[in-house]
Amino acid sequence: MKEKILFVTSIPNQAKRFWDRKEYENIVEAISQYELENIDLKEYKAIIFSMYIDQYILCNIGNKLKEFLENGKKIFLNGHIIKPFFKELKTFIPMKRPTLEEFKIIKLQEHLVYKNIDIEKLNKRKGVAGFFSRGGNPAPKGAEHIIAVKQKEVIVDWEYRINNGSLYVHSGNDLWTCMEKEEDNYALFNNIINWIQGDKDE
């Protein structure tokens, strides 16, 4: 069993930014989204999906993904859910005419994904607010609320546990692209890997 992390790419060269780093060589395996339906998911401990994933593909393998989680694995999903691929998921709800203040990111609880991350640096990129998220994928009942906007009204990041598995949803741009400096984006990606690996500080 490989027990690697599967990074599913949806656009050309999407994973290239990470693969020049040796620390990922034996941990993460990248495949195209068009290979996903033919992959044996039992060989992996986790899957990372970008915001660009073809959600029709996810719907086609929804039962496999649910079984994957039920078997104690993890999924990290970025983006707006347009085609829910199992019943606990709901479609993305955008904020209506959000103000600058409503874009302000609020940490609701500590989580390994944001360990040692300065949340203030996520509020703007290139001087513009809204890169992080402009709404939320509604969290299922029982999910842990991690990050919110709009004075805590809109939940952007949440974690939902299914048996011993876990689904982490970030309702916005790929999380590792939301910060101005690349070293900060790498730190976020590393935190995602550590969350998957089951860091004791989770």
pLDDT digits (tens, 9 = 90+) for 125-137: 888 888 899 999 9
Give CA–CA dist 85/62, Å, rounded: 5
Residue 202 has pLDDT above 80, yes or no: no
Q: What percent of the chain is modeled with pLDDT above 70?
A: 94
CATH 3.30.420.40 describes domain 4-197:
no
pLDDT tens for residues 24-52?
Answer: 888 999 899 999 999 999 999 999 999 99
**Over residues 101-127, mean pLDDT:** 94
What value does the mean pLDDT of the chain take? 92
Q: What is the pLDDT of residue 20?
A: 66
CA-to-CA dists, residue 201 to 116, 183, 187, 194, angstroms: 12, 21, 16, 9
Confidence category of residue 2, pLDDT binned at 50, 70, 90: low
Most confidently modeled range among 95-99, 165-169, 179-183:
165-169
CA torsion 156-160-165-170 (nearest 10°) is: -10
